[in-house]
Amino acid sequence: MRALPEETFVFDFAPMCGPLVMSPRLEQVMRSGLERDAPVGEIIRQMMNERLESISKTGFGGSAEAEMWRRSGVKAIQVTLGGFELDPTGWDAAIRDLAWYMNAERCGDFLRLCRTAEELQSAAADGILGVLLGTQDAAWADPRFDRLHTLYHAGVRVVQLTYNQRNLIGDGCSEPANGGLSRFGAAFVKHAIDLGIIVDLSHCGEQTGLDAIDLADKPVAVTHAACNALHDHPRTKSDEILRALRDQDGYFGVVALPSFLARTGEATVDDMVRHVEHAAEVMGLERVGIATDWGGVTPDMPREMGDGAKRAFIAAGFAPHEVPPIGEALPEFDTYEKWPSITNALLGRFSPEETKGLVGGHWLSFMQRALSKA
């Protein structure tokens, strides 16, 4: 089988900074939280703090986590502020995550916060995980956009307009009304783009997405979704959205979550590749990439916290019947170390150069045109 060079730039969307790599100490922290009947987000926060304390004391290189990233081949990721607490809509959770990432960067060899395509490539060349900060909602937005400025100056470069529910900007994908951008939402989109922030439409309702694409004077993104033409689900995007992104030179990232890819909920990596092929047929291959959305519902979530995780996603805006099954994964991609199985599947349908673009190169090109000052 053909293979890509080991140094190939691989970019992913992993909202919780990759999988939870359990250790005896993290197990102890989890058990203590469960015994106190603490919310799952609070338990994960404590586990992440423990994880960072351990890294700061013993270093990252040579750890089980470092080996996991090496095996995956992933060089850089976009994360979600608020993701640790499974609270992508909350301002306080976002700020706590921001502090965690800033402290993690100080560890030296763990991760590096990046703001541009060039910085992501530089981190990869240095053998350090590049991290692009983003949010999955803007329900926290204030009338003067002070919070947006705060996030921008802290290094955030991707902001999703809505999660699944309606906010003051527009409708999320679970809202039945399918309302578009509000006047405030239109002002928010313009302000974010003027600042130099990528507008993300992944969880937005159809009309909110179309309105934002029509309004934006820079390319925007659907960073992590799938194609409605292949599977009718609130988290999939219509061909109309894909064509609008194509005409605006935007970007579309395909997820690896089975329930978003196939009606049976038992998808394989081949189903994922079919979504890539469909998006490429509509948009052009150069505007399509991979965004597994690993974290929160994937098999690394301890089973003991599954019910709490489902409640957290419902509280964040998923309708109960829309929450992906906790612990689900593609059979070929049931641990993060198996990320190369996605690359191998792509190589079965695309050339090596095309595959290099899909696994990371197209995202870098998109970032450059979306954040250009011209």
pLDDT for 233: 95
Q: Which two tokens stand for residue 312?
A: 């957290």
pLDDT for 141: 97
pTM: 0.97
Q: What are 253-303's pLDDT values in tens digits?
A: 999 999 999 987 789 999 999 999 999 999 999 999 999 999 999 999 999
Rounded-to-integer distance, Cα 366 and Cα 295, Å: 24
Alpha helix stretches (DSSP H) within the chain:
24-35, 40-58, 64-72, 91-105, 117-125, 146-154, 183-195, 206-215, 239-248, 258-261, 269-283, 306-316, 340-347, 352-356, 362-370
In which residue ranges of the chain is pLDDT below 50? 1
Q: Which two tokens stand for residue 156?
A: 């955030």
The CA–CA distances, whole Å, from 94 to 16, 88, 137, 350 equal 12, 7, 10, 38
Q: Tokens 């400025």 belong to which residue?
A: 149
pLDDT for 263: 82
pLDDT for 62: 85
pLDDT for 373: 83
Tell me 59's DSSP state.
-
Distance of CA 200 to the CA centre of its chain: 10
pLDDT for 2: 64
Q: Tokens 């990046």 belong to which residue?
A: 114
Check if the beta carbon of residue 158 is closer than 8 Å to that of residue 198.
yes
pLDDT for 1: 47
All structural domains of the chain, each given as residue ranges with its CATH number in brackets, are: 11-21+59-370 (3.20.20.140)
